[in-house]
A and B are shown apart, each in its own frame.
Chain A
């Protein structure tokens, strides 16, 4: 028990200043109203009976100890004042012992408290403090493997998830200034109201770092926009899922990949940000494959499909700017799609040749005779270099691809070559666009070598029933 009135000293053996003042601690401990609390060794200071063992750091946490030694004067069960480090004059003033430590130097700074060691604070808050977390606690059996426990509860997308412990959730929430109880919206398909805290839990489980959380929150907000049609995207029998393109300084800050293998594996931010959204839909919204998710085949991108745009070419207008956001803004753009469909052309050398060639492949996506209102074209640096050399910008490239993917109606009439797919013969004289007029988003990404670009085909057959959504990332 700590004295109602008297002195408490927090110390640790592994602190040169605490060792220096060991005679002072011994002198103080000889008084009945003084207790010494040791953070690392209850045998320190020596020759003192009744040292309080605080290796679990509970007392240090409750007294908000930042430095050892810390001397606290208690009065009527409350802290009256404190001093820390060794400052002889202060210790003498606080204790009222005029010759305390007279053989010691007058001043020596203390050391950091073990309760403030990197990472300790979240553990201590989770164990002894008020976490403020509202989500229900799920107790595990003593011998349970937490990862297996998550599988057993149906919380996994098929890969192991990071178990959402209080410590991890608190650290994740430190990644945003937004309050844990702020309501983000209703998560499809079941539409329960969702808070920042529950998004953070999904981000933990997906493997995100705390600095990704603002991006994840923007992604969730975008997915909840009515015109994104997240419920339908989940429920469709088609392949598609949410594809996320991230723009702006945040991509560099959190180390996203827009270069080699940008659409593949190997980058934590790319792989976990999209997964956080999908886990939220699954666990919070209640949207599971085989239940509301009716995809006939699905696609690997439904685990996580997220990448950054390459903005290293100052002449290239970022996707975010083309969608009305300021240069320098960090954004997420969500698109309903799947892929990757390869575009391989190592022969074209002029922008006209390249555009016609790309249009041919675009026009064949899904089915050569069907429309595809929307798509992302991932333009690789080597293909872009051909356009750049000719002075073509985003708008000109986009228009050229729109034009090149428009087909003569006569070439896609139903029944041609014995294939029922196609348009009615009455439209044979029309040019038929593959894409909606605003349906193509060009995104620059990929490694420096390889005359390969990629098409990410969109979902839906009517141009106005859904749109991509862009949101700014808020810290």
Chain B
């Protein structure tokens, strides 16, 4: 018997990525709600305190969001809160 002339089987999830264009940044932050999204690192609050101060000094409304731990992805309900609660987001690291 001859060796089978074989194909390979796809090890991937066989999904197709859709590349979406980035949203155009707003020309001005005036009137927009700013979200500060902490990813659960130890010194995020310290960092965001400084960032929030800068925004509020410019008269912008700031709202804080956070995921519970940096080890896991944000739960969907947190993402929904972010979507509903602000117009632009700063995602914070800070170890």
Contact = CB atoms under 8 A, between A and B. Distances in A.
Genuine A/B complex: yes
Given A123-B1, A284-B13, A462-B71, 18 more contacts: A56-B2, A123-B4, A133-B9, A138-B9, A146-B8, A150-B8, A164-B9, A165-B6, A167-B6, A187-B13, A190-B13, A192-B13, A231-B72, A283-B12, A284-B12, A285-B13, A465-B72, A466-B72
A279 B13 CA distance: 12
Interface in A153-201: 155, 163-167, 169, 187, 189-190, 192, 194, 198, 201
A284 B15 CA distance: 10
Contacts of B2: 56
B9 A166 contact: yes
Contact of B15 (A56, A138, A192): A192
A57 interface: yes
A149 interface: yes
B1 A202 contact: no
Interface of B: 1-4, 6-15, 42, 68-73
A164 B72 CA distance: 32
Contacts of A149: 8
A229 B72 contact: yes
Would you call the interface of chain B mostly helix, strand, loop, or mixed? loop
A310 B61 CA distance: 60
Nearest to A115: B1
Contact of A114 (B1, B4, B7): B1
A263 to B, nearest CB: 25
A165 B13 contact: no
Given A56-B1, A114-B1, A192-B15, A163 B8 contact: yes
B8 A229 contact: no
Contacts of A146: 8
Nearest to A55: B1
Contacts of B15: 190, 192
Interface in A129-144: 133, 135-140
Contacts of B6: 126, 165-167
24 contacts: A57-B1, A123-B3, A127-B4, A136-B10, A137-B8, A138-B8, A139-B7, A146-B8, A164-B9, A169-B9, A189-B73, A192-B15, A194-B13, A198-B11, A198-B13, A201-B9, A231-B72, A283-B11, A284-B11, A284-B12, A284-B13, A460-B71, A461-B42, A466-B71
Interface of A: 55-57, 114, 120, 123-124, 126-127, 133, 135-140, 146, 149-150, 155, 163-167, 169, 187, 189-190, 192, 194, 198, 201-202, 205, 226, 229, 231-233, 279, 283-286, 460-462, 465-466
A229 B73 CA distance: 8
Contact of B71 (A138, A164, A232, A285): A232
B66 to A, nearest CB: 13
Choose among B1, B8, B12 the residue with the greatest number of A CB atoms under 10 Å from its CB. B8
Contacts of A140: 7-8
A232 B1 contact: no
Contacts of A127: 4
A135 B13 CA distance: 9
Contacts of B14: 135-136
A202 B11 contact: yes
